[in-house]
Chain A
């Protein structure tokens, strides 16, 4: 029997260091539970979409692409100008809190109802990475609301704006925030009631139900799934504390480690959810009627999502007058290698003949731009560069430490059949592997008689 209900708040490994489930785990578990659909809502990204949509379609269930977005609490302008803040003026004990204040954010789940919605989710998440990244990809309400077409949203977890305000006792302002979301999403906004054993969840759910009744807002049931099976709780804890574990500290010895307050954030069946509601959440406010209505509202959202496909065609840059550029670089490379004694001068004609043959094949197979692109990438890795500026853009302070102190990026000498290409050797794509010296076949890399699958 197929159930027209699914988890609309689910994290996979694309929620980096937060979600444990692989996309296939989620899809398989949804299928095992008999769900007609499956949703993916990773933190601040839709990067798993392509794999997810294909996996769900292969399993014969409807994919719903979404993301749990981070909405900035502190204006982006202040974050951008944070270098003006002189942190040395503050006592050490306050620095952490100040940093925490600057990175404050709210969670919000956004689901694409159609292809337009998916494209808008891409715009929102791209903007949050390019313009709003500060510890997390933070988006603004302005960007979210301007791109809300084709998207429905829900209030997310305890980290959501409405839940946080309610918990702080600010009902009026929770109501104001809700009205903002409802207006922006034009009836496509729901309040999440989570069936999880988070200590404060019962109280929050009841507050949310009161607000939903007062404002005539639909409620839905979610579980904030971070791992697939209940038995993976400890494994998930290791993931959350991976830095400590990597340093050799045993999990049981991590006293200050990061841990979720809820211990049941797994991909539950609907039957399990009903049982957990009965045990943990049932009350005069969170009645069976509320539960069933919320399940029905979740089904309505599922029904409102159209099916669509994603085209995955890589668009690589092309080079103006590329063949002439490639030829010139190869000839220069050959000349330099002969001059430096790397290639024997007496074999110059042999190399020249091989170069002409390879260039002709590369041109015929339309691989000129591909070769030049790879040469640019490998040259970028090999040449020391400024750690503060790249391609005219400032490199964020937070990631400068990731750049090796040598100023170059380590890479291999090249892999597989690419070692048979003299062009790759002369361009510096492969290092130290002279195909003529080792009598390597170019045709294993590229051959005019077969469709190439070039890999370096």
Chain B
């Protein structure tokens, strides 16, 4: 699994598919996705395109 998929795995399965949590609006989800990625020491700007990631997770 490459880095992008690892991140999707962390976000998509660990958090965002919880039925209660997925009711949150995209902007809040995105904010917390960024917080989680930063706490995993992922360089948001350099390593990953967060908007594209959200499109792939069907959350935008």
B60 interface residue (CB < 8 Å to A): no
Taking CB as reference atom, which chain B residue is nearest A73?
B14
CB of B28 within 8 A of CB of A98, answer yes
CB neighbours (8 Å) of A165 from chain B are: 13
Taking CB as reference atom, which chain A residue is nearest B40?
A75
Q: What class of interface size applies to chain A in its complex with B?
A: 20 to 34
B47 interface residue (CB < 8 Å to A): no
CB neighbours (8 Å) of B21 from chain A are: 97, 100-101, 104
**Docked complex: B1-49 residues within 8 A CB-CB of A:** 1, 9, 12-15, 17-18, 20-21, 23-25, 28, 32, 35-36, 39-40
CB neighbours (8 Å) of B12 from chain A are: 170, 173
- Chain A nearest CB: distance from B52 CB in Å? 19
- Chain A nearest CB: distance from B20 CB in Å? 5
Which one of B1, B18, B39 contacts A77 once the chains associate, using CB atoms below 8 Å?
Answer: B39
CB of A101 within 8 A of CB of B13, answer no
What CA separation (Å) do A81 and B36 show in the bound complex? Answer: 11
CB of A98 within 8 A of CB of B17, answer no
Q: What class of interface size applies to chain B in its complex with A?
A: 10 to 19
CB of A81 within 8 A of CB of B39, answer yes
- With A75-B39, A94-B28 given, is the CB distance from A100 to B13 under 8 Å? no
CB neighbours (8 Å) of A78 from chain B are: 35-36, 39
- With A90-B28, A97-B24 given, is the CB distance from A74 to B15 under 8 Å? yes
What CA separation (Å) do A11 and B48 show in the bound complex? Answer: 42
CB neighbours (8 Å) of B28 from chain A are: 90, 94, 98
- Chain A nearest CB: distance from B45 CB in Å? 19
A453 interface residue (CB < 8 Å to B): no
What CA separation (Å) do A164 and B17 show in the bound complex? Answer: 9
CB of A94 within 8 A of CB of B1, answer no
CB of B32 within 8 A of CB of A98, answer yes
A96 interface residue (CB < 8 Å to B): yes
A-B pairs with CB below 8 Å: how many?
56
CB of B25 within 8 A of CB of A100, answer no
CB of A94 within 8 A of CB of B9, answer no
A385 interface residue (CB < 8 Å to B): no
What CA separation (Å) do A96 and B21 show in the bound complex? Answer: 9
CB of B20 within 8 A of CB of A176, answer no
CB of B39 within 8 A of CB of A176, answer no
CB neighbours (8 Å) of A85 from chain B are: 35
CB neighbours (8 Å) of B14 from chain A are: 73-74, 104, 106
- Chain B nearest CB: distance from A160 CB in Å? 12
Cβ contacts A163-200/B at 8 Å (1 or 0 each): 01100101001001100000000000000000000000
CB neighbours (8 Å) of A94 from chain B are: 24-25, 28
Taking CB as reference atom, which chain A residue is nearest B6?
A176
**Docked complex: A248-280 residues within 8 A CB-CB of B:** none
**13 further A-B pairs in the complex, CB-CB below 8 A; given A94-B28, A168-B17:** A81-B39, A96-B20, A98-B32, A100-B21, A101-B15, A101-B18, A101-B32, A161-B13, A165-B13, A170-B13, A173-B9, A173-B12, A177-B9
28 contacts between A and B (CB under 8 A): A74-B36, A75-B36, A75-B40, A77-B39, A77-B40, A78-B39, A85-B35, A90-B28, A94-B24, A94-B25, A96-B20, A97-B21, A97-B23, A98-B24, A98-B28, A101-B21, A101-B24, A101-B32, A104-B14, A104-B18, A165-B13, A168-B17, A170-B13, A170-B17, A173-B12, A176-B9, A177-B9, A177-B13
Footprint of B on A, CB under 8 Å?
Answer: 73-75, 77-78, 81, 85, 90, 94, 96-98, 100-101, 104, 106, 161, 164-165, 168, 170, 173, 176-177
Chain A to chain B: the 7 pairs with minimum beta-carbon distance, closest first: A73-B14, A78-B39, A77-B39, A75-B39, A168-B17, A101-B21, A165-B13
